[in-house]
Amino acid sequence: MGHNKDGDNSRSEQQEPQRHTISLPIAQQINIMFESGTYPTELKRAKIIPVLKSGENTNINNYRPISILPIISKVVEGTIRDRLVKFFEDRRLFCDAQHGYRRGRSTITAMVELMDAVADAWDKGERIELSSLRIGDSFAMHSMGIDGEDQQ
């Protein structure tokens, strides 16, 4: 429970019943989505805002799209992610090299593991080969019409 600027709990105590009032219907709706295997169209709609990465603002390639989604979509997304990760972890379906989406693992732990493997191979005089793949262009922008159809 948080504190307001005066150090008391008055604001948090007032918000506590409201949080429970809204969390039950949201949880029920998320469970219905899981049970039915459907995701409401309204939650799929996003407002796309182009954000300048760098360079000239007249070049469309210098922008990246930011999707503004309804806040409930983020709640549902987090719930889906949590359930999928738990499913995979409970059944030991992640390989040990999987670092994304796992508690206590990250790109940092992946790099440390890679560097350890390279150092071990180097120490043993073994041949070291490393491949890298840049996937940045895999997420290129497409021109979309008002109806959402790809205009290419």
Q: Give the pLDDT of the chain (152 residues) as one tens digit per residue.
A: 444 555 555 555 656 667 677 888 888 999 999 899 998 888 888 999 999 999 999 999 899 999 999 888 888 989 988 999 999 999 999 998 888 888 899 989 999 999 999 999 999 999 988 887 777 655 555 555 444 455 55
Give the predicted TM-score (pTM) of the model.
Answer: 0.56
61 to each of 20, 57, 88, how far by Cα in Å?
A: 45, 9, 38
H or E segment to which residue 120 belongs: helix 107-123
